[in-house]
């Protein structure tokens, strides 16, 4: 099946099919990603995860961050994009973070609705990795299956 360059595709880690935990120590890998060589450069549209089980109380929400070639992916305010676990979530609930640094930096009063989206880019061969950013604490389950939503970059 051929994909158009504007199709959004979901990628799962290439190095594991097991769930990760947001209760692991900060900087623990939640998965490494790769895409086919002929895709050249991809835009990373979203990062997200699916909860492996229902979760309850948590003292600290575990968070996940994205790195490309060892560098944290940040928004326009130079703050890491993160996806956080949610208290009292259902099994298979999903959390996604849009990685468009333009919309994250616009205020509701800016009225700049025509701003060109700015997504992080990754080239074939660059290490793309999701990591625990903040270690989760508490009785609630924070086990996840991470994923990325990517789009081939127009040339």
Position 3 in a domain: no
Position 127 in a domain: yes
Position 112 in a domain: no
Position 55 in a domain: yes
Position 34 in a domain: yes
pLDDT value, residue 1: 52
pLDDT value, residue 39: 84
pLDDT value, residue 87: 79
What CATH number is given to the structural domain containing 64?
A: 2.60.120
pLDDT value, residue 111: 59
> In total, how many domains does the chain have?
1
Domain coverage including residue 74: 11-105+119-152
pLDDT value, residue 139: 84
DSSP of the chain, one letter per residue?
----TT-EEEE--SS--SPEETTSPTT-EEEEE---GGG-EEEEEEEEEEESS-----SB--EEEEEETTEE-B-TTS-B-EEE--TTPPTT-EEEEE--HHHHH--TTS--TTPPP---EEETTS-EEEEEEE--BSSS--EEEEEEEEEEPP-
Position 114 in a domain: no
Other beta carbons within 10 angstroms of residue 126's beta carbon come to 18
Position 113 in a domain: no
What is the length of the chain?
A: 155
Per-residue confidence of the chain (155 residues) as pLDDT tens digits?
A: 555 667 898 989 988 667 899 999 999 999 999 888 888 899 999 999 999 988 878 888 899 999 999 999 998 888 999 999 887 788 899 999 999 987 555 554 555 666 778 999 999 889 999 999 999 998 888 899 999 999 988 76
CA proximity to 95, closest of 64, 71, 66, 122? 64
Position 142 in a domain: yes
pLDDT value, residue 154: 78
pLDDT value, residue 36: 82
Instruction: Report d(CA 89, CA 110) in Å as an integer.
Output: 34
**Parallel, antiparallel, or unpaired for β 41-51 and 121-123?**
antiparallel
Whether the full predicted model's pTM is greater than 0.95, yes or no, is no
């Amino acid at each position: 099946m051929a994909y158009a360059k504007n199709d959004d595709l979901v990628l799962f880690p290439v190095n594991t099919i097991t769930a990760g935990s947001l209760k692991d120590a900060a900087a623990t890998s939640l998965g490494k990603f790769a895409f086919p060589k002929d895709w050249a450069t991809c835009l990373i549209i979203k990062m997200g995860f699916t909860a492996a089980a229902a979760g309850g109380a948590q003292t600290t929400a575990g968070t996940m961050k994205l790195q490309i070639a060892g560098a944290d992916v940040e928004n326009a305010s130079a703050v890491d994009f993160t996806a956080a676990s949610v208290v009292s979530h259902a099994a298979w609930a999903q959390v996604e973070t849009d990685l468009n640094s333009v919309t994250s930096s616009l205020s509701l009063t800016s009225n700049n609705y025509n701003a060109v989206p700015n997504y992080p880019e990754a080239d074939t061969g660059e290490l793309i990795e999701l990591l625990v950013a903040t270690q989760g604490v508490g009785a609630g389950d924070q086990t996840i299956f991470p994923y990325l939503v990517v789009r081939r970059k127009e040339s």
